[in-house]
Amino acid sequence: MTVTSPTGLPYERVAIIGSGLIGTSLAHAVRVRDPECLLQFADTDPQAVEVLGELFPDSLATTDPAQAVRDADLVMLCVPVGAVGVVSGQIAKHVKPGATVSDVGSVKRSVMGAMRDAFGPDVHVIAGHPVAGSEQSGPRAGFAEMFENRYVILTPGEDFNIEALQDLTRFWRRLGAMVEVMEAEHHDLVLAITSHLPHLIAYTIVGTADDLESVTKQEVMKYSAGGFRDFTRIAASDPVMWRDVFLNNKQAVLEVLGRFSEDLSALQRAIRWEDGDKLEDWFARTRAVRQGIVELGQDTDEVDFGRRSAAPVPKPYGDD
């Protein structure tokens, strides 16, 4: 039931458990949209709680999640997906009946299972995933525009409450996002290819480069503008969050990884046997995918992500 003004959010009190990049971005976005909405934070790390007090001085911040969820209309679990079960257990008895519990994790089937096990029928459990982020992490990394023009996938399961789903949809839309609803299993397969496999590959190649004996680390960094540097951004993402993603989406990741490995072997063979036509054909068809992404507003159309203008000022010219 929507209780607030047309410009406000459908919740008067939002609890955010976990103060990483997404949790704090959510808090900033809520603050910008509705200064009246009460925010209640919990984080296991006392230092993070201190930072939260600094960033959101008018809000509750505590190390005790049970305290943070008290009277909240919406409880957002913004912790690594492997921690959702434990945190749900800690707060289950303290969540207000009729409240909605959701999350922001990159895996939905295991999270949905963990939340359903913990909460009774008087709480609306709707898992969610904003497909947004950056390579930074921690409470100071968040920013209010994080979800603008980004997709949020909700996986309400089978016996969801329609009003609760409508309110959660409205909430995300008012933070600038586009909302889609799908099955948790399908979400996990889609994200395995659009997010999890790209991260696994980026982590792998950055490690491979770092391990080479014949090429120095300095050389890897100096000549990284040939393509490698792009992978290092993704491979700078939060290690614990990503460990949990792979442990919790094992099946789908192994499935798309198998397909990728097959394709890579085929291209490897084309290189070995100097099959130029096969290589050129493969390389020519991938341009269209990028064009589609740019048209959907999911990436900038600027050359080189617009980094050209962001290049550091070079040393004075003519220096011999």
Beta bridge partners of 242: none
Q: Does 86 bind its own copies (CB under 8 A)?
A: no
Q: Which of 3, 7, 13, 157 binds its own copies (CB under 8 A)?
A: 7
Q: Does 36 bind its own copies (CB under 8 A)?
A: no
The secondary structure of the chain in percent helix, strand, coil, rounded to multiples of 5, reads: 55, 10, 35
Q: Does 158 bind its own copies (CB under 8 A)?
A: no
Within 247-266, which residues bind its own copies (CB under 8 A)?
247, 250, 253-254, 256-257, 259-261, 263-264
- Total residues binding its own copies (CB under 8 A): 128
Q: Does 3 bind its own copies (CB under 8 A)?
A: no
CA distance 85 to 118: 7
CA distance 17 to 172: 17
Q: Does 310 bind its own copies (CB under 8 A)?
A: yes
- Sign of the Cα torsion 67, 110, 134, 215 reads positive
CA 315 from chain centre, in angstroms, equals 38
Say which residue the tokens 């209309």 belong to: 73
Closest distance to its own copies from the beta carbon of 53 (Å): 24
- Judged by beta carbon, residue 68 or residue 206, the one nearer its own copies is 206
Within 97-156, which residues bind its own copies (CB under 8 A)?
106, 131-136, 141, 143, 145, 148-151, 153
**Across the chain, which distance is largest between two alpha carbons, in Å?**
74
Joined tokens for residue 118 = 């913990």
Q: Does 31 bind its own copies (CB under 8 A)?
A: no
Closest distance to its own copies from the beta carbon of 101 (Å): 22
Q: Which of 94, 173, 181, 183 binds its own copies (CB under 8 A)?
A: 173
| Contact stretch for its own copies (CB under 8 A) within 56-64, 87-95, 120-128, 169-177 | 169-177
Within 40-59, which residues bind its own copies (CB under 8 A)?
none
Q: Does 234 bind its own copies (CB under 8 A)?
A: yes
Query: For the residues of 160-210, what is the DSSP string, one character each?
Result: --HHHHHHHHHHHHHTT-EEEE--HHHHHHHHIIIIIHHHHHHHHHHHHHH
